[in-house]
């Protein structure tokens, strides 16, 4: 799925809010929030808290805010956008697919950590040196 085309379709045919403050206010109504790679850490933290309360998924956009703005057809940088209505795009499917991948990755990581913890608890065999 080409994220840029899907995102452009969502902006043109759906309802999207731009900007950190607007997205934080709209977090309760949003279906998904997209954050650029160079979004300031304090803004990202605020949005993550608002979205966690509302149960809204946050997706990371691999490009910068300038690139995200250009994809959205805006002449300004866009660090954050909230999708309120996807319109004719299938951008919300991208959010579900990424969330499923993240869940699977989290399970794999948790299993690996558990296995590492179990092996760390096993007593190591003492080696005897013969002369």
Q: Does residue 100 lie in a domain region?
A: no
Instruction: Average the pLDDT over 113-130 and give the result.
Output: 53
CB atoms within 10 A of CB 64: 16
Give CA separation, 18 vs 24, 103, 113, 123, in Å: 10, 27, 39, 56
According to DSSP H, which parts of the chain are helical?
3-13, 20-25, 41-54, 65-71, 91-121
According to DSSP, the residues that pair with 83 across neighbouring strands are 16, 32
pLDDT at 127: 54
Domain extent at residue 6: 1-85
- Give the chain's radius of gyration (CA, Å): 21
Look at phi and psi of residue 10 and say left if phi exceeds 0, alpha if psi is from -120 to 50, else beta. alpha
pLDDT digits (tens, 9 = 90+) for 16-65: 999 999 998 988 899 999 999 999 999 999 999 999 999 999 999 999 99
Q: Does residue 18 lie in a domain region?
A: yes
Q: Does residue 90 lie in a domain region?
A: no
24: CATH: 3.30.1330.30
Domain count, the chain: 1
pLDDT at 31: 92
Q: Does residue 98 lie in a domain region?
A: no
pLDDT digits (tens, 9 = 90+) for 78-114: 999 999 998 887 788 775 655 445 444 444 444 445 5
């Amino acid at each position: 799925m080409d994220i840029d085309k899907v995102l452009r379709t969502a902006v043109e045919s759906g309802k999207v809010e731009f900007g950190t403050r607007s997205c934080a206010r709209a977090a309760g109504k949003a279906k998904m929030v997209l954050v650029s790679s160079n979004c300031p850490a304090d803004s990202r933290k605020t949005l993550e808290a608002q979205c966690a309360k509302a149960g809204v998924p946050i997706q990371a956009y691999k490009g910068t805010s300038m690139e995200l703005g250009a994809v959205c057809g805006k002449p300004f940088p866009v660090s954050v956008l909230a999708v309120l209505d996807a319109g004719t795009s299938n951008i919300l499917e991208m959010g579900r697919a990424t969330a499923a991948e993240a869940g699977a990755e989290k399970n794999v990581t948790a299993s690996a950590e558990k296995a590492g913890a179990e092996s760390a608890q096993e007593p190591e065999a003492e080696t005897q040196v013969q002369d």
